[in-house]
Structure 1
Amino acid sequence: MNSKKIDNISVDCVVFGYDINAKSLNVLLIKRYLESKTTQEVLVNDHVLTGYHVHKEETLDQTATRVLKELTGLTDQYKKQFKAFGNPDRLTSKKDLLWIENEGFNSRTITIAYYFLLKTEDVDLENNPYSATWFPVTALPELGFDHEKIILEAYKDLKVKCLSEPIIFKLLPDKFTINEVQDLYQSILGIEIDNRNFRRKLINKKYIIALDEKQVGVSKKPAQLYMFSKDVYDKVFEKNYLISI
């Protein structure tokens, strides 16, 4: 047994990634698979979030950062702790109990949930040690434990947060078009946004900086590129920071 581990406290991480080409908000999941040792019958075959028990010398934030680094190799990404999940029966389905018995961990585990924001292309899936896969948040596969609930709670929080803080720019390239910002908002919020009204509101914000550059390598007319300035934003911060959608 790992003496550093707190047996009944874990951190689960919802890793959101935006695919700018597919215009899709995705969640990074890993495969959970278990066969019977005697009959080779498949006992568990689904997907889960990545999570680990908290180590005794760690803060919760440090555990979450460790989870992300082991899963993606990335550090210094936007993260938010959004909820604790401690329902006594959260890990008591038949599949979950089989998995718990095989892995030897506490069935009464309380998890602290975080979500991270990053770009899908920043994760090297080909060499990923966990065989991680991106799934659209609107088309999740069969999930183990209470991880569907955790993902949906994270998604709900993200929808609110993206309208009050400039976190969406963590999901976009450093240089982006207005249409790409609109596509991202539509992907997160699940709504259609009036293009002309959105463009007018966005380009009037001082922290959206027009660049002397346009798209390259596109078949249609190249669009103007912009960048988000955190320095300017910090100086002109308003409670409702960006737009009313």
Structure 2
Amino acid sequence: MKAEIIPNISVDCVIFGFDNTTKSLNVLLIERYLKLKDSEIPAVNDYVLRGFHTLDNETIDETANRVLKELTGLDHLYKKQFKVFGDPNRLMNEKDIIWAQHEHFNQRTITIAYYILLPTDVIQIEVNQYKPKWFPVNQLPELGFDHRKIINEAYADLKEKVLYKPIVFELLADKFTIKDLQDAYEAILGVEIDNRNFRRKLITKKYIIALDEKQVGVSKKPSQLYMFSKDVYQKIYKESYLISI
């Protein structure tokens, strides 16, 4: 028997990616475009998060995994369910009403929101059927639905959690420099961090393992590479451990 969608329950995923070239925290969005018959001007032309209605034979987590697989091609990414958005007016502006009518979905839709963390270069957006685009989190385009609010709340939660959970490492390659790590923290928190103090604090952390490797293919003096050990972190620290930067 074919699975049916639950018309008023959906999952939206805020995919955060750290670009180690531009040193920016980005959000992955897809274009929402609709041109009605007998009109040269599009009725809807903006960007949204990628989401799906939940199927009646799957859990909410499985819906989120389906979104991620279709948009990134990847499994087993870090994801966090952070809030439910159920305002009865959340899909009631003019463009959203037009879109809902055209797509035949329920305007009283409740969405369960997740955010996901990854380095931007691990996904190939150029070959994705949805043609997603990365946008800096502080330079977002016009957004549909209540997706600006969802992104803002996801970002606020990320900025809080990054201070006491080792989730920043999800945004980096498996091997990274101390400067890469500092850049990621600065991009998330929107602050400048003192180089020497940061390095002095971080290299004493037992869960950051120095490797017998250095950068390759760089024009300047290659820097020492490190890796994050989740096993060491979990053995030493409790959930409430504050990561001092």
Aligned-pair identity in percent equals: 66
* Number of aligned residue pairs: 244
CA distance in 2 between counterparts of 1:85 and 1:180 reads 34
Q: Deviations along 1:185-216, whole A, 9 cap, x unmatched?
A: 00000001111111111100111101111111
In the TM superposition, what are the counterparts of 1:87-126 in structure 2 within 5 Å?
87-126=87-126
Instruction: Indicate the residue corresponding to 2:49 in structure 1.
Output: 49
CA distance in 1 between counterparts of 2:243 and 2:78 reads 21
Instruction: Indicate the residue corresponding to 1:227 in structure 2.
Output: 227
CA distance in 2 between counterparts of 1:4 and 1:36 reads 27
In the TM superposition, what are the counterparts of 1:1-245 in structure 2 within 5 Å?
4-239=4-239, 241=241, 243-245=243-245
Q: Deviations along 1:199-237, whole A, 9 cap, x unmatched?
A: 111100111101111111111111111111111111111
Alpha-carbon spacing, 1:151–1:187, altered in 2? closer, same or farther (3 Å): same
CA distance in 2 between counterparts of 1:20 and 1:225 reads 15
TM-score by length of 2: 0.97
Cα pair 1:117 1:170 within 8 Å, conserved: yes
Cα pair 2:3 2:57 within 8 Å, conserved: no
Shift in Å, 1:240: 5.0
CA distance in 2 between counterparts of 1:8 and 1:239 reads 35
Amino acid at match of 2:124: D
CA distance in 2 between counterparts of 1:166 and 1:216 reads 26
Amino acid at match of 2:46: D
CA distance in 2 between counterparts of 1:240 and 1:182 reads 22
CA distance in 1 between counterparts of 2:3 and 2:215 reads 53
Shift in Å, 1:90: 0.4
Shift in Å, 1:123: 1.2
Q: Deviations along 1:33-78, whole A, 9 cap, x unmatched?
A: 0001122321110000001111111111110000110111111000
SS in 1 for 2:217: coil
Where structure 2 has 5 or more consecutive residues not aligned to the other structure, the ranges are none
TM-score by length of 1: 0.97
CA distance in 1 between counterparts of 2:225 and 2:168 reads 16
Amino acid at match of 1:227: M
Cα pair 1:202 1:242 within 8 Å, conserved: no
CA distance in 1 between counterparts of 2:103 and 2:9 reads 15
CA distance in 1 between counterparts of 2:95 and 2:36 reads 12
Cα pair 1:201 1:243 within 8 Å, conserved: no
Amino acid at match of 2:105: F
CA distance in 2 between counterparts of 1:39 and 1:138 reads 33
Where structure 1 has 5 or more consecutive residues not aligned to the other structure, the ranges are none
Shift in Å, 1:241: 4.0
